[in-house]
Structure 1
Amino acid sequence: MSVICRNALTEDVEALFELIKGYAEKGIMLPRSREALTRSIDTFIVAEDEGRLIGCGSLCQLGSDLVEIRSLGIAEGYKGQGIGSRLVDALIEEAKIQGIPKVMALTYEAAFFQKNGFVIVEKEIFPEKVWTDCVNCPKQHCCDEIAVVRVIAPIPENEKVTYAQI
């Protein structure tokens, strides 16, 4: 297996849509339309194995010092092989490049995020998230997701890295 992580391309929209749809049908990820994916394609990092999209994740800026990891998923048959951690590493590097010091996520897999340097926190410390997404969520008053955050240091301007180096 030769998995690479790279920036998503417009040609990835259909594969992204199908991967996210599988998670959304299980109620563990918000659905994303093809149109929404096309509009936000530049926020996605994908993992591919021999040309097949097998994983994805995106960053959504919630404030000047906070981004959220969204739509993090791995295709069946590829879970448990470190691909999710590689995607998180790539997303963390992107946050560093953007100079954003805090990365958060809402998840059902807190142990995975803890293994990747995140700590569990109260959701209420992220009013940026609550007022942008949670207000429209059907689980708003009975949310069972766990909030996690990781504080990172931005990469100095003279030390920029590319995803190929991750």
Structure 2
Amino acid sequence: MSVVCRSAVPEDVEALYELIEGYAAKGIMLPRSREALARTIDTFIVASDDERLIGCGSLCRLGSDLVEIRSLGIADGYKGQGIGSKLVDALIAEAKLQGIPKVMALTYESAFFQKNGFQIVDKEIFPEKVWTDCVNCPKQHCCDEIAVVRIIEPAQENEQLSFAQM
């Protein structure tokens, strides 16, 4: 099986919706409407095999020096094969190209993120996140997610990264 990470396109909206909805139904990811996905399609990177979309993740800008990895998920039957790490690498590369030095996530899978170079931190150090999303979350006062962050170096002017290299 050959897995390719690439920028999402409008034709991916339905597959993204179904993948994210599966996680949201379990209470481990915030739901996203088809309309919201269509509006933010340019923030998503997807993983696909030869036949279908099998993973996704997006970057949400929270400030001039901070982005959040969100909606990171892998289709059933494809977990544990390194696809999540490929998606994180592609998202980190995108943040690097945008010159954003801090990448954070709220997760239930802190070991996965630590394996990918993130450190566990206190979520209160991200007021940008708290006031953007957490204020509307049903778990606002009893949040059980773990905050992680990774500091990256901005890309050099001559550095070009391609998702196909991931």
TM-score tier (shorter): over 0.9
State the SS of the aligned residue for 1:5: strand
| Residue 43 (str. 1) matches residue 39 (str. 2) | no
Over the aligned positions, Cα root-mean-square deviation in angstroms equals 0.5
Rounded to whole Å, the distance in 2 between the matches of 1:51 and 1:39 is 25
TM-score, length-scaled by structure 1 = 0.99
2:5 corresponding residue in structure 1? 5
1:22 corresponding residue in structure 2? 22
| Residue 159 (str. 1) matches residue 163 (str. 2) | no
1:143 corresponding residue in structure 2? 143
Q: Percent identity, aligned pairs only?
A: 83
| Residue 33 (str. 1) matches residue 33 (str. 2) | yes
2:108 corresponding residue in structure 1? 108
State the SS of the aligned residue for 2:77: coil
| Residue 94 (str. 1) matches residue 94 (str. 2) | yes
Rounded to whole Å, the distance in 2 between the matches of 1:127 and 1:26 is 26
1:53 corresponding residue in structure 2? 53
State the SS of the aligned residue for 2:147: strand
Equivalent residue pairs, number: 166
Consecutive aligned runs of 4 or more in structure 1 exceeding 4 Å deviation: none
State the SS of the aligned residue for 2:47: strand
Please list every run of 5 or more consecutive structure 1 residues that lacks an aligned counterpart in the other structure.
Answer: none
Rounded to whole Å, the distance in 2 between the matches of 1:165 and 1:122 is 33
Rounded to whole Å, the distance in 2 between the matches of 1:140 and 1:122 is 15
Letter in 2 for 1:53: L
Shift of 1:165: 2.1
Rounded to whole Å, the distance in 2 between the matches of 1:163 and 1:48 is 12
Shift of 1:162: 1.7
State the SS of the aligned residue for 1:92: helix
Letter in 2 for 1:141: H
| Residue 118 (str. 1) matches residue 109 (str. 2) | no
Letter in 1 for 2:110: A
State the SS of the aligned residue for 1:28: coil
Shift of 1:98: 0.2
TM-score, length-scaled by structure 2 = 0.99
Please list every run of 5 or more consecutive structure 2 residues that lacks an aligned counterpart in the other structure.
Answer: none
Write the deviation string for residues 14-43 of structure 1: whole angstroms up to 9, x where unpaired. 000000000000000000000000000000
Letter in 2 for 1:112: F
1:134 corresponding residue in structure 2? 134
Rounded to whole Å, the distance in 2 between the matches of 1:136 and 1:25 is 18
Shift of 1:157: 1.4
